[in-house]
Amino acid sequence: MTVGSQYAGDVVNVWLYSTPTLLGTVTVGADGTVRVTIPSDTPAGAHRLAVTAADGSLIGWTPITITADGQLAFTGAEGLGVGALIAFLLLAAGAGVLIVRRRRTAAAAE
């Protein structure tokens, strides 16, 4: 997820909402990006990913949808620029692949 190069080096929190879940406390890269993994047990439905500063203030958020088959879909962005949205979509596509793989691995282990 791109939060902006003005936050490079800052420590931020990335949250998954409907039920607030801290996905990670990470340092923003020099290119303004942060990376987190969406848990494989995230229920299907509408959620939001939010990035907050260390003081708790909101930096930006984007709505996402987890489909019944574990796929990740985006429905837009608020508080993030168009370039940030594109970068975020690329990162989230990778997260979607991780979710599918984890769910398949968990199903195979049962």
Which residue segment(s) compose the domain that 98 sits in? 5-109
pLDDT average, residue stretch 1-13? 83
pTM of the model: 0.63
Closest CA to 29 of 48, 2, 61, 58: 2
Angle CA 77–90–7, to nearest 5: 65
pLDDT in tens, 59-106: 888 888 888 776 666 555 444 444 454 455 545 555 555 555 556 666
Distance CA 95, CA 1 (A): 11
How many domains does the chain fold into? 1
Higher pLDDT, 1 or 48: 48
Stretch 12-22: mean pLDDT, rounded?
A: 90
pLDDT in tens, 25-36: 999 888 888 888
